[in-house]
A = this chain, B = another copy of it.
Amino acid sequence: MRDFYPEDMAIRNHIFQVWHNSARLHGFLNYDSCVVENLSLLKRKAGEEITEQIYSFIDKSNRELALRPEMTPTLARMLIARQNSMQFPAKWYTIAQCFRYERMSKGRKREHFQWNLDIAGEPSTSAEAEIIAAAITAMRALGLTAGDIKVRINSRALMAELLIKHGIQQEHTASVFMAIDKYGKIPEPEIVKMLTAACLSEEGIKAVFEIMKINSIDAAKSAAGDESPAMRAIIEIWGAISTYGLTDFIEFDMSVVRGLGYYTGIVFECYDIKKEHRAIFGGGRYDNLISDLGGNKIPCVGMGFGDVVIAELLAEKGLLPTGSAPALVAVGCMDKPSMSLAIEIAVMFRNNGESVDLALAPEKPKNFFSRCSSAGFDRAVYIGPDDVKSRKIRIKDLKTRQETELSL
């Protein structure tokens, strides 16, 4: 698990700031919950892989708890508790620390922070479009372009339609999705094994690989038919994203199904263009989760965007902020009696909204100014006994080296 030293925190704060701002621009309300959640809630609707990796523990009163692996079950719990009093559709966001119990690897740590956007109560694809647009807005604010990343979009509903067309029954779709989720990540024979384990016949397996070859919306249209409801939803989203001016950022990709069990319709994942990293963000529609957990029928769309992969990508592209100074203005002093005036000046700047690094002990002018230039302050004020007498100070601009005199 990570420690965040000030230089790490500057990066994290930069990413969080972009997330908060994009959520704000798109009218999402901020919510949060505790990192500790009931294990039973988390286990009920997560995918197999996530359940195995849950960071669970028993508390002092023998409760089965966990450090949450994801925020969606908690969001569902919170929505259900207020489903009869709150207004829908609701647009909510959070930046939540999430945990998994597994060996660490590149882009995958024991914990990470995840920006979650969710829209609850909207059955139309305008919800998917708005969430994808908000996530891309964040990507652009971080400095990434359509040449750097792509959002790959698919539909589980479309997959299900095609599987049924090929005679694969609905009871097998969940296991087929789990296998397809590994497409491109593990060797094909392994996927064949998974599909065989899912009780698919040889023809069934062949059909799955046939479906996976669909690589454009047009090919999908010919396979599913123009009038298929799933196809219509995809076409609607493409239209909306084009109106948002973001067509360059999206791509149709049949291999995207997502690892979580609860998705029902559109699913999407964002990758760097060369797919050298893990997914940057991902999400989709989950229309049944709330009712499966005992709530009303509330159709939802959600997205999770972690802080680890994006930071790796930004570092690679030289888009991370460089270390910032602790404050704008440095105030130092020569001796103990000068310290009162130094405090006075610090208070003056701070009352003006400017951050001040006030020296806590006297320093020689040489030491003070050499510290100032390496720390990256904007301006510096150094107080000596003469300044205390005259109550005149000099504010030095550390870039231009010019001094401005100020009479107190």
Contacts and interface: CB of A to CB of B under 8 A. Distances in A.
Contacts of A12: 32
Contacts of A326: 27-29, 91
A82 B24 CA distance: 37
A355 B26 contact: yes
Interface residues of A, number: 69
Contacts of A56: 60
Nearest to A25: B350
Nearest to A34: B1
A103 to B, nearest CB: 11
A70 to B, nearest CB: 16
A6 interface: yes
A137 interface: yes
Contacts of A32: 3-4, 9, 12
Given A32-B9, A361-B122, A350 B3 contact: no
A218 interface: no
Nearest to A341: B243
Contacts of A1: 33-34, 36
A31 B57 contact: no
A356 interface: yes
A321 to B, nearest CB: 13
Nearest to A325: B27
Interface in A5-54: 5-6, 9-10, 12-13, 24-36
Given A9-B31, A361-B124, A137 B58 contact: no
Contact of A26 (B10, B244, B350, B361): B350
A130 interface: yes
Number of copies: 2
Given A26-B356, A137-B350, A31 B60 contact: no
A92 B6 contact: yes
B4 A33 contact: yes
A4 B93 CA distance: 11
Interface string A180-203: 000000000000000000000000
Contacts of A24: 327, 355
A36 B2 CA distance: 10
Nearest to A137: B350
A378 interface: no
Interface in A323-356: 326-327, 339-340, 343-344, 347, 350, 353-356
Nearest to A239: B340
Most buried by B among A25, A67, A357: A25
Given A4-B33, A34-B111, A240-B343, A327 B360 contact: no
Nearest to A99: B36
Contact of A357 (B27, B122, B356): B27
A176 to B, nearest CB: 30
Contact of A360 (B74, B124, B357): B124
Contact of A355 (B27, B60, B111, B327): B27
Contact of A2 (B13, B34, B55, B339): B34
Contacts of A59: 55, 57, 101
A162 interface: no
A398 to B, nearest CB: 15
A109 to B, nearest CB: 10
A60 B101 contact: yes
Contact of A31 (B6, B92, B126, B244): B6
17 contacts: A2-B33, A3-B74, A3-B81, A5-B31, A9-B29, A9-B31, A24-B355, A27-B357, A27-B358, A36-B111, A56-B60, A57-B57, A57-B59, A89-B361, A126-B360, A127-B360, A130-B360
